[in-house]
Amino acid sequence: MEGNTSASAPTKPSGSANHLMGDHPAYNAFFWRIYAIVYDLIWDSPLTDTLAQISTSHLPSACTVVDLGCGTGLMTRQLSQHVIGVDASPAMLTRATRKQRIDRGVHAPVHETGLESGCASAVLTCNVLHLVPDPRGVINEALRLCSPAGTIFFCWPLDEPDTDTIFQLERRLGRSAPRAVLAHALRQLIGIAAALTRTPRRTSASIEQVLSRTQGLEVVFDTILHGCQRVMVLRPFTEHEAKDFFHSPSERSTE
């Protein structure tokens, strides 16, 4: 979204978005405020660009995209679509808005955005599902927001790669040595900050488990990118398909 001049100021939350950022909301909010300062130095990288390219290749060209947990807007900055970024961190939203990477910012928890049902032809949730206490709530919100036959894009980090592995990978993908070294050092500091602020992180297996139990979604693309990111593109069943698939309305609810 670089160069777009119509970005609006983040919408104020109806309640406190921080309630939904784990067991230690004040610490977590502080963590995200610090992370926002260095986020682009760490993640404005070839790895993020590859993820963004994959998501872009699956999105309809003219549509509204909702980015749940948009951060600084790195995942949507190349999009020509209308982008609504949702995030619980005002610091992240402010950066995404100032850099004109989103068209509208909504300050809200990712599982309860307050946006209209079916308002998006595509919903992205990148590097967020491993951070929320209830990924099922986020998946359900993505389903609610996504229009019939729309696209849902999820990606999240695998557990195994450590900061050294990511450093080596980024060098292989062409990140310059000074930038890769700086990102490596900042990643380690952020890891310490996450531990100190008790910011929760769930395993990849637990996210897979929740997704596998979610009904009403068809997987259209599923890969592991460079051994460090799980990437999934999903499509909600249309009403017609759902009628064929489910025997009764009660079977549509997720576990």
Residue numbers at the binding site for ligand SAM (CB under 6 A): 20-21, 32, 43, 69-71, 74-75, 87-89, 92, 109-110, 126-128, 131-132
As measured in angstroms, the least distance from the Cβ of 144 to ligand SAM is 15
**Residue whose beta carbon is closest to ligand SAM:** 71
In which residue are the tokens 């759902």 written? 242
Dihedrals phi, psi of 12, to nearest 5 degrees? -70, 145
C-alpha dist (Å) from residue 57 to 52, 78, 229: 9, 12, 17
CA distance 215 to 192: 37
As measured in angstroms, the least distance from the Cβ of 186 to ligand SAM is 13
As measured in angstroms, the least distance from the Cβ of 42 to ligand SAM is 10
Q: With respect to ligand SAM, which residue has the nearer C-beta, 88 or 186?
A: 88
CA-based end-to-end distance of the chain: 37
Q: With respect to ligand SAM, which residue has the nearer C-beta, 172 or 201?
A: 201
Q: With respect to ligand SAM, which residue has the nearer C-beta, 12 or 252?
A: 12
Q: With respect to ligand SAM, which residue has the nearer C-beta, 133 or 218?
A: 133
Dihedrals phi, psi of 84, to nearest 5 degrees? -105, 120
As measured in angstroms, the least distance from the Cβ of 75 to ligand SAM is 5
In which residue are the tokens 């996450």 written? 194
C-alpha dist (Å) from residue 16 to 11, 25, 117, 139: 13, 10, 21, 21
CA distance 129 to 107: 17
HSE at residue 20, side-chain half, CA atoms within 13 A, is: 22
Q: With respect to ligand SAM, which residue has the nearer C-beta, 10 or 69?
A: 69
As measured in angstroms, the least distance from the Cβ of 127 to ligand SAM is 4
Q: With respect to ligand SAM, which residue has the nearer C-beta, 143 or 237?
A: 143
CA distance 120 to 83: 9
As measured in angstroms, the least distance from the Cβ of 33 to ligand SAM is 9
